[in-house]
Chain A
Amino acid sequence: MRSLFAWADTLESSIWLRESLNAYPILLTAHVVSMCLFAGLIAFWDLRLVGYAINKVSVTEIPKRVFPWALTGFAVSMITGSLLLYSKPLTYYANFYFWLKMGMLVLAGVNMMYFHFSTYRAVSAWENDQKPPPAARYAGVASLLLWAGIVVTGRMMAYGGLVPGWWKALNLDGP
Chain B
Amino acid sequence: MLQPFFEWMQGLSLSNWILTATWASPILQCIHLLALVVFSGAVLIVDIRLLGRGLIKTPLAQIARAAQPWLFWSFIVLLLTGLPQMASTALKQYYSPHFWWKMQTMGVALIFTFTIRRKVALTADDRLGKYLPKIIGLISIGLWTSIAVWARLIGLLS
Check A28 against B152 for contact (C-beta < 8 Å): yes
Given the complex, which residues of A lie within 8 Å of B57, measured CB to CB?
A: 57-58, 61, 65
Check A61 against B58 for contact (C-beta < 8 Å): yes
Given contacts A65-B53, A152-B30, contact A54 B36 (CB under 8 A): no
Chain B 95-118, CB-CB to A under 8 Å as 1, else 0, gives 000000000000000000000000
Report if B34 contacts A (CB, 8 A): yes
Given the complex, which residues of B lie within 8 Å of A53, measured CB to CB?
A: 66-67, 70
| Range of interface residues on A (Cβ < 8 Å) | 35 or more
Check A25 against B56 for contact (C-beta < 8 Å): no
Given the complex, which residues of A lie within 8 Å of B145, measured CB to CB?
A: 33
Pair count A-B, CB < 8 A: 106
Chain B 64-106, CB-CB to A under 8 Å as 1, else 0, gives 0011001000000000000000000000000000000000000
Chain B interface, DSSP helix/strand/loop, else mixed: helix
| Range of interface residues on B (Cβ < 8 Å) | 35 or more
20 of the cross-chain contacts (CB-CB < 8 Å) are A28-B152, A29-B153, A29-B156, A32-B152, A33-B149, A39-B37, A40-B42, A41-B45, A42-B41, A43-B37, A43-B38, A44-B41, A44-B45, A53-B66, A61-B55, A66-B54, A66-B55, A151-B34, A155-B26, A159-B26
